[in-house]
Structures are given as structure tokens and as C-alpha cells.
Chain A
Amino acid sequence: EAGVAQSPRYKIIEKRQSVAFWCNPISGHATLYWYQQILGQGPKLLIQFQNNGVVDDSQLPKDRFSAERLKGVDSTLKIQPAKLEDSAVYLCASSGLATEAFFGQGTRLTVV
């Protein structure tokens, strides 16, 4: 069974630039999550989709972050404009309903 795929693995951008991350979940998983993990901390939920609808985006900085999940499968997360404090690992995960969650390898973003 293929796992959760994310790209790119690494990205370095200057502050005020924009960046986009892509995630392909495990086939058949209705729930897709985007987490932000700052070095030395646990992951923090940014947004959760159920199929192509948003379930929870209460911690998403909506003035600069946006996410979509077209057709209930792949998802993209965008930051525009980026700030220095956005430097983190962005993790995508998927699961069935209340079942085991599986994570991708993450995208390490460095904003300089």
C-alpha cells in the first residue's frame, strides 16, 4: 500500500515570497490533515479536511495561509507572504474515520 506522498521535501525562500506544498493521501482515506511542526515541538494542526470539506481550520493563519483539497483527494497548502516564523516542517497525514493516521515525510521550509 502506498503511503502519504508529499513534495517538495525541502524549500528555502526569502521572507515575503510565496510557497506551495502538495500532498497525496493514502487511497480511500477521507480525512486529510496539515500540521506545522516547529523544531523541538509537537505537531500543531493547521487544517483538517473530510473529503473536500474543511472540518477544522481554527489554527490556520488565514491572512497568509490557504489550503484546498480538490475532488477530495490531493491537497495543496500555500503561504503568501511567508514570514521568518513560518520556518518549520509541514506534515501531511491521512486517515479513515477515527482510524490510524499515517504521515508523509514532511516538507522542511526555511524562510530567510
Chain B
Amino acid sequence: KQEVTQIPAALSVPEGENLVLNCSFTDSAIYNLQWFRQDPGKGLTSLLLIQSSQREQTSGRLNASLDKSSGRSTLYIAASQPGDSATYLCAVRPGNAGNMLTFGGGTRLMVKP
């Protein structure tokens, strides 16, 4: 059974810092991995989708990397801003392209002005 872990569970940083959020998964046979953002009381917003054949994806100040063999992904946020404060979740899809998404517990990020 796939298990997804996100460390740290919470993170507080001053504005302007570059930071890294970690996601690890136990079964490396994944099809793709997706990073989401969740604001308090809201649904999930898709940030980046990385296919298993890809090493990284970039969108603006966000960069997500994938090391499938070691079961790890990182989300890099450059020049953090108070508006980046939210919970960040990663989710993996199994290697048989079955559509089930398994989520980690999330990292709660607070960026202080």
C-alpha cells in the first residue's frame, strides 16, 4: 500500500527566503505526482504535475523535482511572500496509471512579513 509522507508538518519563515518542502513515498512505481496548495477553508489548487519520466517542472517561482527511484519529490519556492502562506500537499498516482491519488499529510507554511 502506497504511503506518502510530508516533512516538515509546519514551517515558518521570514519573507524573501527560499524554501524547500519535502514529499516521500514508499512505492516508487508511480505514474505521476501532483503538488497542490490549499488555503484555509478552501479546496485544493493544482500547482504542478510531474510525470514519472520527468525530473522537474517549473511554474513561476515554484520548481518541483522528482527522484522516482528514491521515492522523493521536493517543492522549491523562491523568494517567498506572505501570499504563499498556505498548506502544500503532494499526491501520487500508481504506476499502472490507475487514477487513484494518495495524499501526504501536508506542510503548513507561514511566511512572515
Contact = CB atoms under 8 A, between A and B. Distances in A.
Interface in A87-112: 91, 93, 95, 97-106, 108
Interface residues of B, number: 26
- Most chain A beta carbons < 10 A, residue from B99, B100, B101, B105: B99
Given A103-B44, A105-B42, A106-B42, A98 B99 contact: yes
Chain A interface mostly helix, strand, loop or mixed? strand
A85 B90 CA distance: 25
A45 B4 CA distance: 13
A20 B110 CA distance: 34
Contacts of A42: 4, 6, 89, 103-106
B98 interface: yes
Interface string B1-24: 000101000000000000000000
B42 A45 contact: no
Nearest to A98: B97
Interface string B83-106: 000000101010001111111111
Interface of A: 4, 6, 31, 33, 35, 41-45, 48, 50, 55-56, 91, 93, 95, 97-106, 108
Interface of B: 4, 6, 31-32, 34, 36, 41-46, 49, 89, 91, 93, 97-106
